[in-house]
């Protein structure tokens, strides 16, 4: 089968092939996990042309009979040859009851190398951490980076191409569709429905679907804004919907576990601690936002933040929001001993904006790198030690 190789994930998985660890690939539905499994199979075949590969896809009715761990063990053992290592691939493993028991059984035997995907963080992390602590490695997949988006759609880096990336997002299947709003958004609405009903409503027995949908619209409309359960609850009350803050928090967690939204905590840079209140939410895919709420040019600043945030996650940074007194830093990015502070702004043409963006970074009294990312076609590369990046250049080169 033809597919585009996502090199960044190949590099992440290769060190673990043939190692006695279960490889768990997680991420939102339609993010490309199934194709990544095919990519891994090809990597294995390059090493061993006669490799025994057993593949189970729980979205394929062919495997409907595999409903629990016992069915899984019976099927896999039946397909395996004696005295030969088997490579077991299981797509959407959370749909198999008690899957963790089968994985633990296989993992204790050196003749299995196991790869599985899942679309629910709560189920996977809970069950795997309980039964397989220290025996698995998790790889999180995201939508296409900007450079991947250009490659997938045979585009060059232009303002128009970047606008398409903001509008349509990075789900890989868009490669098969013309980049026209109605076509794209009709597809994305179906993806949203699958996430909502399979990974939230069905998984958590949500009864008030109308409330859940209103909540997703609210979060999508307020990406990058400080959010609290009380603030959302008060808004919903104004819409004649009365739900407690605890229910709001539960539903937000469900959406996070389904990889629809990502919660980002605030980092008190002076007190050097993570704050428990005042978090922000970003979407895993900007295209899904616009399928829900429509594209609004007035929201461009929020969208720029969202794509920069996703880019940082793809690059394996741990990201928080910085708080320094009354000043806010959009992103505090940590990786091992490295730290970077990043501000994102639509334009630096306004003097007040420049004072705010530069001033917030200058107020941080350490020597870590400080960056402002802007949509301006900026030629200046540094101001007062602060690097200035055009957003397209940042997404392609940083």
* Domain CATH code at residue 23: 3.40.50.300
Does residue 1 sit within a domain? no
Cα(first)–Cα(last) distance of the chain, in Å?
Answer: 32
Does residue 2 sit within a domain? no
Q: For residue 272, what pLDDT is reported?
A: 85
For residue 4, count other CB atoms closer than 10 A to its CB. 14
Q: Are residues 94 and 166 located together in one domain of the fold?
A: no
308, 325, 329, 321: which is closest to 398 by C-alpha? 308
Number of domains in the chain: 2
Torsion of CA 136, 138, 139, 140, to 10 degrees: 160
Domain boundary among the residues 97, 122, 140 is at 140
Q: For residue 379, what pLDDT is reported?
A: 65
Q: Are residues 327 and 203 located together in one domain of the fold?
A: yes
Query: How do the pLDDT tens digits run along the chain, 398 residues long?
Result: 567 889 999 999 999 999 999 999 999 999 999 999 999 999 999 999 999 999 999 999 999 999 999 999 999 999 999 889 999 999 999 999 999 999 999 988 889 999 999 998 876 677 677 777 788 999 999 999 999 999 999 999 999 999 999 999 999 999 999 999 999 999 999 999 999 999 999 999 999 899 899 999 999 999 999 887 777 777 777 777 777 778 889 999 999 999 999 999 999 898 888 877 889 999 999 999 999 999 998 899 999 999 999 999 999 999 999 999 999 999 999 999 999 999 999 999 999 999 999 999 999 999 999 999 999 987 668 899 999 999 999 999 99
Q: Are residues 151 and 135 located together in one domain of the fold?
A: no
Does residue 161 sit within a domain? yes
Looking only at the bridges linking them, the beta strands covering 52-57 and 86-91 are parallel
Domain boundary among the residues 78, 113, 140 is at 140
364, 185, 200, 359: which is closest to 269 by C-alpha? 364
The dihedral built from the CA positions of residue 298, 299, 302 and 303, taken in this order, carries a sign that is negative
Q: Are residues 299 and 341 located together in one domain of the fold?
A: yes
Does residue 390 sit within a domain? yes
Domain boundary among the residues 123, 140, 157 is at 140
For residue 92, count other CB atoms closer than 10 A to its CB. 21
Q: How far apart are CA 236 and CA 234, in angstroms?
A: 5
Q: Are residues 313 and 333 located together in one domain of the fold?
A: yes
Placement of tokens 């055009």 in the chain: 390
Q: For residue 56, what pLDDT is reported?
A: 97
Range of the domain at 358: 146-397
Q: Which residues of 208-239 are buried (b: 16+ CB within 10 A; e: fewer)?
A: eeebbebbbebbbebbbeebebeebbeebeee
Placement of tokens 């030969």 in the chain: 84
Q: Are residues 249 and 384 located together in one domain of the fold?
A: yes
Q: Are residues 325 and 239 located together in one domain of the fold?
A: yes
* 135 SS3 class: coil
CA distances in angstroms from 16 to 313, 343, 355, 383, listed in the order given: 21, 35, 47, 43
Q: How far apart are CA 212 and CA 206, in angstroms?
A: 8
């Amino acid at each position: 089968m033809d597919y585009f190789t996502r090199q960044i994930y190949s590099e992440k998985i290769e060190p673990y092939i043939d190692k006695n660890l279960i490889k768990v690939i997680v991420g939102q539905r339609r993010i490309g996990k199934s194709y990544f499994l095919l990519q891994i199979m090809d990597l294995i075949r390059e090493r061993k042309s006669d490799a025994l590969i057993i593949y189970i896809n729980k979205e394929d009715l062919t495997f409907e009979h595999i409903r629990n761990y016992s069915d899984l063990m019976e099927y896999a053992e039946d397909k395996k040859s004696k005295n030969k290592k088997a490579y077991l691939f299981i797509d959407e493993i959370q749909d198999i009851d008690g899957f963790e028991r089968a994985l633990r059984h296989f993992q204790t035997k050196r003749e299995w190398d196991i790869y599985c995907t899942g679309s629910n963080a709560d189920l996977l992390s809970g069950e795997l951490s309980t039964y397989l602590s220290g025996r698995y490695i998790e790889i999180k997949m995201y939508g296409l980076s900007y450079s991947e988006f250009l490659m997938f759609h045979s585009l060059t880096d232009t303002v128009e191409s970047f606008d398409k990336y903001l509008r349509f997002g990075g789900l890989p299947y868009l490669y098969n569709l013309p980049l026209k709003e109605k076509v794209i958004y009709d597809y994305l609405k179906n993806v949203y429905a699958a996430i909502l009903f399979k990974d939230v409503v069905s998984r958590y027995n949500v009864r008030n679907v109308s409330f859940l949908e209103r909540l997703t619209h609210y979060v999508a409309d307020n990406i990058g804004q400080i959010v609290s359960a009380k603030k959302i609850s008060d808004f919903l009350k104004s819409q004649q919907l009365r739900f407690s803050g605890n229910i709001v928090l539960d539903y937000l967690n469900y959406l996070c576990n389904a990889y629809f939204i990502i919660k980002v905590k605030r980092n008190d840079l002076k007190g050097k601690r993570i704050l428990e209140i005042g978090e922000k939410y970003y979407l895993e895919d900007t295209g899904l936002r616009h399928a829900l709420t429509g594209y609004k040019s007035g929201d461009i600043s929020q969208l720029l933040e969202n794509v920069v945030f996703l880019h940082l996650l793809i690059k394996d940074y741990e990201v928080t929001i910085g708080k320094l007194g009354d000043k806010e830093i959009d992103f505090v990015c940590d990786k091992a001993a490295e730290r970077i502070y990043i501000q994102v702004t639509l334009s630096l043409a306004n003097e007040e904006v420049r004072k705010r963006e530069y001033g917030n970074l200058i107020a941080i009294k350490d020597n870590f790198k400080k960056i402002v990312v802007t949509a301006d076609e900026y030629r200046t590369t540094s101001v007062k030690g602060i690097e200035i990046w055009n957003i397209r250049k940042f997404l392609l080169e940083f």
